[in-house]
Amino acid sequence: MIAPIDHDALEAIRDGVRSLCKPYGGDYWRAIDASQGFPEQFVDELTRAGWLAAMIPEAYGGSGLGLAEASVILEEVNRCGGNAGFVHGQMYNMATLLKHGSEAQKAAILPRLASGELRLQSMGVTEPSTGTDTTKIKTTAVKRGDRYVVNGQKVWISRVQHSDLMILLARTTPLAEVQRKADGMSIFLVDLHQAIGQGMRVQPIDNMVGHETNELFFDDLELPVDTLIGEEGKGFRYILDGLNAERT
């Protein structure tokens, strides 16, 4: 049975977010846009107030709320004249980690996301030659001993410059060797500080979408095996949890 919507609780969330957003008026957001900048002060304050940790379980320092509450938070940012596109990545990327990450991964990452020590704002899925058919991605992650070696390319990847971690989808089994085309892809949690310049290159894209976006190049990027989220080959199903949350 679906629990009834607590409209009073949702209204309290709206009031809280609205109060935080009040000092960040049109001048603030226009200045960010004109400079092609990132609203560091706003994002930091939203994090300190706990709003970006809404979906993180209380055991890991979050509020333990659901997708409805998270959606209301982002909706209210936009309603107040801001741009929730700068922060929504952390909400939906966490869905993949929350549902499919190991206990060790969640214990190591989620409290630091909740406190603002880390940001998980980026997801590397889209590629130049695959369009919307994610099953045809060409970026590969080949297991060699205690490492996965990643090669390939991603495009239109947002907020890399303002994130510490990135969810990455890559093929661990060639498309020709799987029975179902959605099989054989895996999810990795990439430490961007360790990856950039060590097998991963970031090329910013000039654009008019209101936030930074990039092309990523992987050339023998090595990822420890414990960066794999969930079971190898099940990544397409895992990534849908994040993408479906994003669409909401």
Q: Which of 45, 215, 222, 246 is catalytic?
A: 246
C-alpha to C-alpha distance for 135 and 150, rounded to whole angstroms: 17
C-alpha to C-alpha distance for 172 and 233, rounded to whole angstroms: 7
What would the 3-class secondary structure string for 174-186 be?
CHHHCCCCCCCEE
C-alpha to C-alpha distance for 108 and 5, rounded to whole angstroms: 32
Q: Is-contact 94 40, C-beta < 8 A? A: no
103 is catalytic: no
C-alpha to C-alpha distance for 192 and 210, rounded to whole angstroms: 22
Q: Is-contact 45 23, C-beta < 8 A? A: no
Collapsed DSSP state (helix, strand, coil) of residue 126: coil
Catalytic residues: 246
